[in-house]
Amino acid sequence: MRFKVYMINDLGNSHKETVIANNECKAKRNVQLFNPSSKVLEAKWVYK
């Protein structure tokens, strides 16, 4: 499944990433590993 994860960093810049994961919790965890200073706002399931 694909999830679009929206994040905001310490400077106030927002960005989004598309992640392939089995569920929403794992998608958020994967994004946090590569962007430890960013805060996850939301994750939405997307269809291609």
The string of pLDDT tens digits covering residues 5-35 is 999 998 999 999 999 999 999 999 999 999 8
CATH number at residue 30: 3.10.20
The domain in which residue 25 lies consists of 2-46
CA distances in angstroms from 11 to 15, 18, 45, listed in the order given? 12, 21, 27
**Total number of domains in the chain:** 1
Q: Are 26 and 43 in contact (CB under 8 A)?
A: no
pTM, to two decimals: 0.83
Residue 22 has what pLDDT? 94
Confidence of residue 47 (pLDDT cuts 50, 70, 90): confident
Confidence of residue 48 (pLDDT cuts 50, 70, 90): confident
